[in-house]
Amino acid sequence: MFALAITDILVNQAQEFVGVFDATHNRFAQVNPAGVQLLGYSSEQELLAEPARTLLTPTFSEAEWIALLAQARQSGRQEAEVEINRPGKDLLQAHIELTYFKVAEAPYFMVRLTEQNRLHQAERELAQSVRRFEAVFANATIGIVVCNRGGVLYRPIKWPTSSLATKMGS
């Protein structure tokens, strides 16, 4: 009863790439709108009309890709980090999840790609923010006391040893 609505939500409305890979023909049979956009195509028809309807990945050789598909087929699911070539765009750093299923005894994989560029950017920004925060404490010319919202001190911070503090008798 809910199958079509759930499929629409999980596939067509997903914010990341979701595609159905036909293992018999070694190509994609369907890709959601977010996936089409992520790979840099104007439409699903354009992507599916591509002669090589596969993910062009310099990360995996053809043999490694076949081995990844075989592992997913055997275990039901497989994940990996990949780089994907996109027409006219930079390489896409992504996390790929392959889930094996059959329809009328034909083998398929649901493929989910999550772009890692945003994750890596967030990690870099967080690291930069931490370095700035640490620099404030390391270069402070006055004492800094840090506590949580309840007023509990976290730990004493090293008091400054600047020449001004020494002259003032601290």
| pLDDT 10s digits, 120-163 | 667 777 878 878 877 777 777 777 777 788 888 776 555 555 55
Which residue in the block uniquely carries the two structure tokens 């980090």?
81
Q: What is the pTM of this model?
A: 0.63
Q: Which amino acid does the sequence have at 5?
A: A
State residue 118's pLDDT score: 67
Distances from the Cα of 165 to the Cα of 141, 158, 160, angstroms: 8, 13, 7
Which span out of 28-32, 107-111, 131-135 was modeled with the highest average pLDDT? 107-111
DSSP assigned state of 72: H
Distance separating alpha carbons of residues 130 and 85, to the nearest angstrom: 33
State residue 102's pLDDT score: 93
DSSP helix/strand/coil, 138: helix
Assess whether pLDDT exceeds 80 at residue 164.
no
Assess whether pLDDT exceeds 90 at residue 101.
yes
How long a stretch of residues is the chain? Answer: 170
Contact 89, 5 (CB under 8 A): no
Contact 113, 35 (CB under 8 A): yes
Contact 62, 78 (CB under 8 A): no
Choose among 92, 109, 89: nearest CA to 21. 109
State residue 56's pLDDT score: 65
Contact 17, 112 (CB under 8 A): yes
Contact 72, 98 (CB under 8 A): yes
User: What confidence tier does 104 reach under pLDDT thresholds 50, 70, 90?
Assistant: very high
